[in-house]
Amino acid sequence: MLQNKKLLITGGAGFIGSNLIEKFLKQNNDIVCLDNFSTGKRENIAPFLGDPHFKLIEGDIRDMDTCKRAVDGAEIVLHEAALGSVPRSINDPVTTNDVNIGGFVNMLTATKDAGIKRFVFAASSSTYGDHPTLPKVEERIGKPLSPYAITKYVNELYAEIFSRLYGIETIGLRYFNVFGRRQDPDGAYAAAIPKFIRLLITHQRPVVYGDGEQSRDFTYVDNVVQANELAATTTNPEAVNTVYNVAYGEATTVNELIDELKKNLSRFDPAIAAIEPIHGEVRLGDILHSLASIRKAEKLLGYAPKYSIRDGLKEAIEWYWENLSQ
């Protein structure tokens, strides 16, 4: 268990970051959250603001002075801050590069200079690119298919170099299609699950890119929190300075996802069961299938995801219904 530590969580006002804060505050940790609120939400951290063990630094990882201020006194860094979304990176590769690579190197450098040994960071399944093999195994990747994927792969390369040159223990967690409470359903770059839920609740038809037979390893956020905790606390020397898939290890098509969403939401509103999706053009930069092998994380970290997509969707939909249906 991660407890009685001083943590820096970058991107803490975001979807995953705020779930990490919620968990680790309950375990008697002191937490600094660094966020510039470009994609994070103030409401995500509102419940923590009165906690004496929580501190907010509003700032940008592209500013080195801010990074140095944020790491001061920290024992472990959990780096979640990034500009996500493949489509966003296609539309604006410059900003994606500045934040995801420039900001990442700033955080690594500040961590090194502060003498902090453990740096856990959000990597991405997009790193697998055009490699055709399923399930995805950490040591076999292809060519990236988007600027976003390039930035996340470069993060892994920088982490490896900092480990070799400076002795920092780095662990990258390649997230696979994470979903759950607090994930933003709005905006041009909203992820599929919260966007679909929002549309179905308001009796609108979700748009599916392509025929809907593309598949993903959808991963509930509590599994991701578990992986971060294990990465932050492992004492196994073989478990550091590497990357891991963080997923459930099960593929679900987008069509199956929508059926599952409709089934769960129709418990609250039976009319949702009759809503059918609209099929649009295939989206640039998207991969067709994604499925993770989680054997490496199971073996070296002791990772044991508790939530299947069905279990996770039940939890998430209850949260969204309470927060979106009013």
- Stretch 259-286: mean pLDDT, rounded? 90
Out of 148, 158, 220, 307, which one is annotated catalytic? 148
Residues 6+ apart with CB under 8 A from 91: none
In a domain, 303, yes or no: yes
In a domain, 77, yes or no: yes
pLDDT digits (tens, 9 = 90+) for 188-227: 777 889 999 999 999 999 999 889 999 999 999 999 999 9
pLDDT digits (tens, 9 = 90+) for 50-105: 999 999 999 999 999 999 999 999 999 999 999 988 889 999 999 999 999 999 99
Tally the domains of the chain: 1
> How many C-beta neighbours within 10 Å does residue 70 have?
27
Confirm whether 148 is a catalytic residue.
yes
CATH code of the domain covering residue 35: 3.40.50.720
Q: Band the pLDDT of 287: cuts 50, 70, 90.
A: confident
For residue 142, what pLDDT is reported?
Answer: 94
- By DSSP bridging, strand 215-216 and strand 252-253 are antiparallel
In a domain, 280, yes or no: no
In a domain, 131, yes or no: yes
For residue 326, what pLDDT is reported?
Answer: 63
Domain that holds residue 30: 6-180+220-248+289-307
**Burial grade of 246 (CB within 10 A; 0-12, 13-18, 19 or more):** buried
Q: Band the pLDDT of 127: cuts 50, 70, 90.
A: very high
In a domain, 282, yes or no: no
- Stretch 3-32: mean pLDDT, rounded? 97
In a domain, 185, yes or no: no
- Stretch 281-285: mean pLDDT, rounded? 76
Query: pLDDT at residue 285 above 70?
Result: no
As a three-state string, the secondary structure of 20-63 is: HHHHHHCCCCEEEEEECCCCCCHHHHHHHCCCCCEEEEECCCCC
For residue 324, what pLDDT is reported?
Answer: 81
Query: Considering the chain, what is the average pLDDT of its residues?
Result: 95
Query: pLDDT at residue 106 above 70?
Result: yes
In a domain, 275, yes or no: no
- Stretch 248-276: mean pLDDT, rounded? 95
pLDDT digits (tens, 9 = 90+) for 128-178: 999 999 999 999 999 999 999 999 999 999 999 999 999 999 999 999 999
Give the span between the Cα atoms of 214 and 318, in whole angstroms. Answer: 26
In a domain, 38, yes or no: yes
For residue 190, what pLDDT is reported?
Answer: 76
For residue 120, what pLDDT is reported?
Answer: 98
Q: What percent of the chain has pLDDT over 90?
A: 90
Q: What percent of the chain has pLDDT over 70?
A: 99
Query: pLDDT at residue 306 above 90?
Result: yes
Query: pLDDT at residue 284 above 80?
Result: no
